[in-house]
A and B are shown apart, each in its own frame.
Chain A
Amino acid sequence: MKFIVAIVLHGFLAFAVGLYSQFPWWLFVGTSGIVAFFIMDSPAKSFFAGFLGVGALWSGLAFGKDLANAHLLSSKVAQILPLGGSYIALIVVTGVVGGLLGGFAALTGAYFRSKSTK
């Protein structure tokens, strides 16, 4: 249950800070760290919660944008970034990039918590 709540919070908070596009795009690193700090879990689980939360957010948002756009832009970008023109690959890469950052941020938060509690 804690794991699920963490995933949802990672995704929700990353989305919320992402609405302010005048701030840096990586601001969710902070929110994911905080989520992991407060929701005590093992480092591995924290990492995966961050990865899944932000990864799902990023790939989900990208998927939605892409669907409404009929893959027009993603097919072009997937040639500029060498992904063979595959919009699916581009959505996956987007999710993984967001996920990795969310995961590592959560991991850091988890270690920070475990350090300060000992």
Chain B
Amino acid sequence: MRIVPLIISAALTTGLVAVLNTPLSVGKTKTPRLGYFLSPQQGFWQNAEPENKSFDANIVVDGLQDKVEVLMDERLVPHIYANNDNDAYYTQGFLHAKFRLWQMEFQTYVAAGRLSEIVGPDRIATDRFFRRLGMLEGAEATMKKMANNPTLQAAVSAYANGVNAYIKSLQPSQIPFEYKLLDYKPEAWTPIKTYLFFMFMSYDLTGRGTTTDLQMTNSKNYFGYEDFNKLYTNVQDSLDPIIPKGTEYEKASVAVITPASQDSLYFAKTGSVAPNGSEAPDKNNGSNNWAIAGTKTKSGKPILASDPHLGLNLPSLWYEVQITTPTHSTYGASFPGSPAVIIGFNDSIAWGVTNAGRDVLDYYDIKFKDSTMGEYWFNGAWQKSVIKEEIIKVKGQADSVDRVAITALGPVMYDKSYNANGSDGRCLAVRWIAQDGSSGLQTFYELNRAKNFDDYLSAINHWTCPGQNFAFASVSGDIAIKQQGAFVARWNRQGDFIMPGQDSSYLWQGMIPASENPMIKNPERGFVSSANQMSTDSTYPYYLGAANAFPLYRGIIINKKLNAMFGITPADVQALQTNNDNIFAEMARPALFKFLNEATLNAAEKKYVGYLRSWNLRNDVNEKGASVFRDIWDSLKVAVWADEFKNAKLPLQWPEEFALLEQMLKDSVILFQDNITTPNVRETMVDAVTEAIKKATPQLQQMEKEGKLAWGAYKDTRVSHLLKIPSLSRLHLPIGGGEHIINATKDNHGPSWRMVVHLVDGIEAYCVYPGGQNGNPGSKYYDSFIDSWAAGKYYRILFLPKEAANQNSQIKWRLTFTNS
């Protein structure tokens, strides 16, 4: 009898299958199902795209009205030629899915608070955050607004049909790599996911208040409002606003009444809250754009430049595309997840966007009757709240249920069940303009088709959130920039801190009419520009928001350079976009030397001061002076601020760099230069600078020993895969630039799309982005633009009518789409 060996070997076989078919825990992460993952016919090997793969295809689908042709160029950019608009968006959806399916779905999972479904219990807090913020409600509100807009609704649904046509055609073995790694499957795409994606962009660009409003409240409570207002000043002496100083503004049409109780209930010391800081969007989310009039260009035609600064991720946020139909022909960067082109041009105009940075998110301190949060005190009576149950699915675990109270002042973000320790038992409702939904897609839809300035203006006036600076240039010779969004008409400092939520005097009193938003057209100086700085000087009749939302220095250098440039060519504009001059250091270095007593320094310290002195003020890859400057300046901030912040129990945001620098430049009394931990000594700025250099020197020596003192190595830029997996990321990229610099490339953040458009007839345009067209890590097109991007090189864009495209030698592949 061989029954025993039979049982043993059968058990071994079954056991082995079971083990290889189960995700195993390795440290904090889980492996994929190893057998499945390694299976060459089903697992990751199927995603290893042949180097010489042909993308030619005849694709038969359901739901097209007519035949669509897609010509794919050598960079894998599709040029879509459709006989009607909805077929074009259907095809765009199909292509987004074909090359970026995992990322577009992943981003909407994040936005919808469904991350735990994919990655497990570690991210439940993140999911609760996004749900409490009202992401889904905002997307649903957008969907409702779309019901009044059948044209756009049809475009979004054609796009969804295209995505789904691809998902339907997908063999299980062909699903993107990341699904296999994380072990789940794509689900059907719906229009709401497009709106969720726009909600995510709103959050990314206006959501920082979820953290900063709390931190500023804490700082105000810690320092008292008077000192707070000096440290976190809203005055920026060196500001060069988007709308040039001296421009006259009409009187405000929305009158704002300051609450009578503001001194006692708002500016006074109130309760503090420790933010759940991990969810705050990046502080550096910003951008540059400018448009130069023909008077300053060599050709006599305008040139427009746009480079949005965002997290540097793979697969990239952007997907390059040309869309040509009988109604229009447009080219530019699109969002996988949405139809249309987001930043780009057509044959008549070009546009680019930067973030406005205006505050559209506030917290209200709500007084609930009891812990059920069923009723809250407002305007002298108990009001009923709505309790919403959020059911969060969790991978490998039971559902997690979150109870969220919704008040007339917004959904409650912080309460006893969410960050109870930090919120001191208080309940904070969050009011955010994005919760109202937006018809923002209409703006891009119209910009794609705009012919002139009037079309541009009517397109952007739909725009509500996130507030943007829309730069514009046309072949007919106009340039313009407008800051557009739904902006709250605020009293001074309204919403910078948590507001009392018990009466209506602290509510938003009105929105600024679009016609009163800052705008300038064809200015005498021959250019318009924006770099997230304050849009106007203080004569603008509305409060713009706290200055920590407005970086100061890129705007100064861009305007300084553009003022000095004449006979400008697209090559000059590319050089400007990738310029590494450090204007902040140019202003700060003399200020440092002013307070430097070199006699107190030893030889090593003097050596680094020497590096700083001989530095050419450029943050190029090989400059050591740039690293020395950054290290000493950071040490100086510690020397000046650390003692004051040492006793703060809550995380406080330190003052902005400009606040310290402008005080040093002014020769006025410098706040907090005395080190309060040494009561018998009265330190001065000279002591602080000396201390900073002494503290920085050992670090600098260490870095020099390790060969990491050159700026590129010091900064160490990377483009990270969305799952932060190092081998799917590009690390240690040789690229200069940094904070306050036009080439705003930081360690994992920077120009996510660089575009230069020369508005000659037929359009001459250039672009590059830190990624590649194919989101598959197994494709050579996954990261194929990154080296060019790091080197500051651009690709000449092929913007071609179909006949010309058919004959162009850079067109490599042809995909035809026909209805079944």
Residues on A lying within 8 angstroms of B by beta carbon are 15, 18-19, 21-22, 24-26, 29, 33, 43, 57-58, 61-62, 65-66, 68-70, 72-77, 79-81, 85, 93-94, 97-98, 100-101, 104-105, 107-108, 111-112, 114-115, 118
Contacts and interface: CB of A to CB of B under 8 A. Distances in A.
Contact of B31 (A33, A70, A81, A97): A81
Contact of B40 (A77, A94, A107): A94
- With most chain A CB atoms within 10 A of its CB, the pick from B40, B52, B778 is B40
Contacts of B45: 61-62, 65-66, 73-74, 94
B181 interface: yes
A76 B38 contact: no
Sorted nearest first, the 7 A-B pairs with minimum C-beta distance are: A73-B778, A79-B727, A21-B173, A18-B41, A69-B48, A61-B40, A111-B6
B1 interface: yes
Interface of B: 1-3, 5-6, 9-10, 12-13, 16-17, 20-21, 31, 34-36, 38-52, 171-174, 177, 181, 725-728, 777-780
Given A26-B17, A69-B49, A108-B13, A118 B780 contact: no
B48 A68 contact: yes
B318 to A, nearest CB: 22
A70 B44 contact: no
Contacts of B171: 21-22
Given A18-B41, A108-B12, A118-B1, 19 more contacts: A18-B39, A25-B36, A25-B43, A26-B35, A58-B40, A61-B41, A62-B38, A62-B45, A66-B45, A68-B50, A72-B780, A73-B49, A73-B777, A73-B778, A76-B728, A76-B777, A94-B40, A111-B10, A115-B6
B5 A80 contact: no
B6 A108 contact: yes
A69 B778 contact: yes
A104 B41 contact: no
Nearest to B15: A104
A108 B48 contact: no
Nearest to B181: A80
A10 B5 CA distance: 21
Main secondary structure of the interface of B (DSSP, over half): helix
Nearest to A70: B51
Contact of A108 (B9, B38, B52, B727): B9
B48 A73 contact: yes
Nearest to B5: A111
A25 B49 contact: no
Contacts of A105: 13
Nearest to B13: A104
A83 B493 CA distance: 56
B13 A101 contact: yes
A43 to B, nearest CB: 7
Given A58-B40, A94-B38, A111-B2, A21 B17 contact: no
A21 B172 contact: yes
A98 B39 contact: yes
Contacts of B40: 18, 57-58, 61-62, 65, 94, 98
A50 to B, nearest CB: 10
B84 to A, nearest CB: 35
Contacts of B21: 24-26
